[in-house]
A and B are shown apart, each in its own frame.
Chain A
Amino acid sequence: MDKSSHISVVLDLSPSQWHLSSLPHNPYPLSFKSFLSQVLAFLNLHIASKHENTLAVFGAFPGKSVMLYSSSNPASDSSDSGNPNIYRPFEIVDSRVVTRIEEELELIDDKEEEAPIGLVGALTKALCYINRITHPTTSTQSTIVEDPAILPDPRILILSVSPDLSTSYIPIMNSIFSAQKLKVIIDVCKVYGPNTVFLEQAAHLTGGSYVYLERRDALLQHLVMSHLPSPALRKLMAVPTQEKIDFRAACFCHKNIIDVGFVCSVCLSIFCAPVPVCSTCRTKFPIKTLQRLNASRAPALRPVNGAAKTSAPSTPSLPSTPR
């Protein structure tokens, strides 16, 4: 029998990116309003497809992250008279998510709008929440009753619109490894903007799927086809797989995303240029290595040196690609 499943949805709610996304010069402009209504339809589908299915929604705002909804503590104001034409759980999810987003957006002033997006916070919150529901608590004051027989099959779906934030490289990698430990898969749907290297790696390393949305008018269809089926079902379906996975990393010194880096052999810190001392573990590197690396690094800038180097057998003098 198909098990119940849990989805933690992480919504990237960067106002500036959503503004860019809705501009009419895009091939398929997608406004935030239309995005939200399609996402809510998806959330309703998830709840409707099995009674035991659980859901949590997290919002990543500029500079902060918030839990918008969770099925274990749904809206407290359940007394208000709902629309009799709408299935009650749908209405709760919809109204709760929409009001919470409105509340949080109200709180953001213009200064904060420029703050980096709190995606890492939302992702780690989702992991903490999943940790809590999959490992029934040991303490006695718990209010949630968990039946261990119907532990949900957890996964995280990230709907991303912001570009990679290179300062979050290490936290994202740490989140990926904890997701692996919790056996949580991370699905990524890139709704707007360029591919993000870190989220590609997240989906790849946790066995999730990464979908780059080209036809953004078909968001709901993509969500339903590739992100609704539970992990058990995906074996039977042709879920879109990733094209290429970019294993680039961010350097520790300038947070640039690089494809060739200089790595400290002691602590494995990555630098984008040869450094005499590792800034993380204070290890001094041999001067010889620095000279050799500096010489082989810029053959195009100093052709005389580069030519001289070709006679030296120790260093390969292949031109390095510009980084």
Chain B
Amino acid sequence: MPPRKDNEYIDADSDSDVDILDESGNRGRKSKGKAIDRRRKDKGKGKSSEQPYAWEASYARSWDTVQEDEAGSLTTAVADLLARNRRRRLLAPANAIRRTIIRHLIIILDLSLSMMDRDMRPTRFDLSLEYAREFIVEWFDQNPLGQIGLVGMRAGLGERLSEMSGNSQDVLKAISERHKLEPAGEPSLQNAVEMARGSMGHLPTHSSREILIIFGSLTTVDPGNIHDTLEACIRDRIRVSVVALAAEMKVCRDFCDKTGGQFGVAMNEGHFKDLLFELIPPPAQRVLSRAAGAGATNPAADLMVMGFPVRLPDTSLPALCVCHSELKSEGFLCPRCSAKVCDVPTDCDICGLMIVSSPHLARSYHHLFPVKPYQAIISLEEGSAFAKSCHACARSFPDAPTSTFTATAEGMSPLGRYRCPDCHHDFCTECDVFVHDVVHCCPGCGK
């Protein structure tokens, strides 16, 4: 089905759990791989010896991972993926709570000619765009109240690619058109950082200010002294992190060390991605897990006062907004002082209340209250009444066990029947997956 493009409200990709059937097995495997990588890194910084350089790596052929059965059909493979997914869910730790604070991040993309280098496949430029997209989706999933802005470094200038926004679709749109980002000229670190710094000046104090630079060049052409910019970043408490694609540069290292950010040089594609994705969890989480682990009181935890606004339609009478003093129809009303602001989340300029739209918060709630795993019904010989059809989608259940599932039975029902432990209704395989991975709400219990 071609997605409807006219619909700006739908941001389907902003939650990364979106795999319904097909990629689920791959995802599980991938994330496991990532966890192993991370552990390896924590142990010691000896990853270079274990991970091959790009030119030493062999192609990972994705079609090798799916195998046909003797009859030449993929059904068993699909069933196997499903079963694995179910088991993963049963084993998932109960404490899936993540700490979240309000973050503001500007990503600075190097768009200089050095990004056309082909030492990373297909080019540094294409790869960083692709990873940036994945990074943004994952980042918004873990930081539902965060905002991201984009700045490009091209031809000696800083270019604002997208304004700070809490909507992942807005941000992704800015890097969706490759031809508009075609690399040119030399990069200017100072111009870009100054531009990023300028757009974070007004931010509330309790939120984090971060800059992430993806840097492919080994030079920077700056109009002034870049160390002044560094001082200004330290003063504004902006944390600068750099992922370099070429080699270490002293000034980049200084930026990271002095502002408390992370510096890394990517050795190959996988390492590049790991370096980026390490920056996704909120800083508080990283500090805590390093310090003591679970159980310790967390100094970053706090109770925040937040207001949930009323949104005015664009047909309402125009009024001045308190943030830009512009005459506008649409906007949000502060619930405490009724001042009108242009966008949320923000701090009310009049009373200082933090204004957020409640759906932003609600996006992470399914992690807090997951649906209990359904029990696979193995046989119908219990004498009790069995529903003829799925309680959710009304598809009829097969009367006899199907042969395809018997091979991979563990955790799977040969009848394609799964029962909710609370409401005792039966659901089909597809609804079982859909309820647990997407809806996060049992259609029988209604909660």
Contact = CB atoms under 8 A, between A and B. Distances in A.
A73 B97 CA distance: 41
Contact of A180 (B11, B21, B301, B447): B11
27 contacts: A124-B441, A124-B442, A127-B439, A128-B435, A132-B430, A134-B1, A135-B21, A167-B447, A180-B11, A181-B12, A183-B10, A183-B12, A207-B7, A231-B7, A244-B310, A244-B311, A247-B358, A249-B308, A249-B362, A261-B308, A263-B361, A265-B303, A266-B298, A267-B97, A268-B144, A268-B145, A320-B336
Given A128-B439, A140-B75, A206 B9 contact: yes
Contacts of A235: 6
A121 interface: yes
Interface string A277-312: 010110111100110010000000000000000000
B301 A264 contact: yes
Contact of B361 (A174, A178, A205, A268): A268
Interface in A189-213: 201, 204-207
A17 interface: no
B416 A270 contact: no
A242 B9 CA distance: 14
Contacts of B316: 243-244
Interface of B: 1, 3-4, 6-12, 15, 18, 20-21, 75, 78, 97-101, 144-145, 297-313, 315-316, 332, 335-337, 344, 351-353, 357-359, 361-366, 368-369, 389-396, 398, 402, 404, 416, 429-431, 434-435, 438-447
A112 interface: no
Contacts of B312: 244
Given A259-B335, A265-B304, A318 B358 contact: no
A235 B362 CA distance: 29
A132 B395 contact: yes
Contact of B416 (A124, A141, A151, A266): A141
A206 B10 contact: yes
Contacts of B357: 247
The 8 A-B pairs at the shortest CB distance, nearest first, are namely: A249-B358, A128-B392, A259-B335, A207-B9, A173-B362, A121-B446, A124-B443, A120-B446
A305 B420 CA distance: 53
Interface in A209-261: 231-232, 235, 241-249, 258-261
Given A170-B369, A244-B312, 6 more contacts: A139-B429, A178-B440, A181-B438, A231-B7, A245-B310, A283-B301
A230 to B, nearest CB: 10
B310 A128 contact: no
Contacts of B306: 260-263, 270
Given A138-B21, A206-B10, A265-B302, A246 B310 contact: yes
B78 to A, nearest CB: 5
A316 B347 CA distance: 13
Contacts of B444: 121
Contact of B335 (A118, A169, A178, A321): A321
Contacts of B20: 131, 135
A125 interface: yes
A241 B101 CA distance: 34
A125 B6 CA distance: 26
Nearest to B338: A321
B303 A289 contact: yes
Nearest to B18: A181
A105 B159 CA distance: 64
Contact of A247 (B359, B363, B429): B359
Contact of A177 (B15, B361, B394): B15
Contacts of A320: 336
Given A183-B12, A265-B304, A284-B301, A318 B362 contact: no
B404 A171 contact: no
A168 B446 CA distance: 8
A121 B304 contact: no
Contacts of B447: 120, 167-168, 170-171
Contacts of A231: 4, 6-7
B301 A285 contact: yes
A129 B393 contact: yes
Contact of A266 (B100, B391, B446): B100
A153 B1 CA distance: 9
Given A125-B392, A263-B306, A321-B336, A181 B15 contact: yes
Contacts of B315: 241, 243
Contact of B392 (A129, A170, A178, A316): A129
Interface in A62-99: 65, 67, 70, 73
A121 to B, nearest CB: 4
Contacts of B303: 262-265, 271, 274-275, 285, 289-290, 293
Contacts of B144: 268
A176 interface: yes
A185 B443 contact: no
Contacts of A129: 392-394
Interface in A157-178: 167-171, 173-178
B27 to A, nearest CB: 15
Contacts of A131: 20, 393, 430-431, 434, 438
A134 B4 CA distance: 14
Nearest to A179: B10
